[in-house]
Amino acid sequence: MNWNGIVSLLLACIEFLLLFNLLVFIEKNKINNIAMIMIALLASYQTMEFLMCQIDLQSSYYPFLAFVIISFLPPFNLLLILSLTHQNKISLRIFWIFIPAIAFLIYYLFVIPKFAVTSCTVLYASYHYPLGDLFGVFYYLPILISIILLLKFIPNVKDKKQKLITKILLYGSIFISIPVLVGFSLMIVKNYSLISKMESIMCKFAFIYAVCLSFICLSNSPFNDERNYFKYLFNNK
């Protein structure tokens, strides 16, 4: 029996379940909305990977679409960190963090046939796509900037709740960076075996980050459980 992509399906189901609960039970504010968009992107990517590996969708459009989805995860994460650390007061500047993702998207539109799923396993998929190393640098750079911003911001936070939220984001960002650090370390010794699998493996690690985002959304709402939610809902009618 072919089990390729089954882990992606499992994670997609859990992430969609998290998203559904957040849509029902949390306050819809800027930070929560960004977090929910990120969870939706993660769930969508896992769904695409399952379909490509299990149903054997071979067209280049499918891995291209998967890369479109994940390309916007790092800039949305940086936007979330900027919002939490109150460093995005000039809204026009926010557009610039999406420029690399948009630039890659425009370029990749002209080279879609070069996208391919080269292999699938139960846990991850491997891809072939143009400018892989350059894409990797611009993909990880917003995550690195996010980690630096959090490290600078946390020591100055006095509110215990906000400090907990930022620490959770920091630990989550460091956790999803593990595959990148391992991949770049292997590249130094001329081992490129992890690079073609990097995005897929990072998105598996990012499941933990989706859980972190869910916790942050709940903490960033004026209720902590269903009873408080309905009380809040009826009091605000």
CATH number at residue 109: 1.20.1070
Which residues, 6 or more positions from 107, have their beta carbon under 8 angstroms from its beta carbon? 130, 131
Backbone φ, ψ for residue 118 (5° rounding) = -85, -30
Weakest mean pLDDT among 88-97, 98-107, 198-207: 88-97
Query: Residue 155 carries which side chain, given as an amino acid letter?
Result: P
Domain that residue 132 falls in: 6-235
66 phi/psi in degrees, rounded to 5 = -60, -40
Structure tokens at 153: 């911001």
Secondary structure class of 172 (helix, strand, coil) = helix
**Is 153 within the bounds of a domain?**
yes
Tokens of 16: 């969609």
Query: What are the phi and psi torsion angles at 213 (to 5°)?
Result: -65, -40
Q: What six digits make up the tokens of 117? A: 């799923």
* pLDDT of amino acid 230: 45
pLDDT band at 43 (very low <50, low <70, confident <90, very high): very high
Q: What is the overall mean pLDDT for the chain? A: 84
Q: What global pTM score does this model have?
A: 0.88
Is residue 1 domain-resident? no
Q: Which band of pLDDT confidence, cut at 50, 70 and 90, is reported for residue 18?
A: very high
Task: Indicate whether 106 belongs to any domain.
Answer: yes
pLDDT over 60 (residue 229): no
Closest CA to 174 of 138, 129, 212, 130: 212
Q: Is residue 54 part of a domain?
A: yes
Q: How many domains does the chain have?
A: 1
61 phi and psi angles, rounded to 5 deg: -65, -30
**Residue 48 lies inside a defined structural domain of this protein:** yes
Q: Which residues contact 10 (CB under 8 A, 6 or more apart)?
A: none
Distances from the Cα of 49 to the Cα of 70, 205, 233, angstroms:
11, 15, 38
For residue 32, being part of any structural domain is answered with: yes
Torsion of CA 7, 11, 14, 18, to 10 degrees: 180
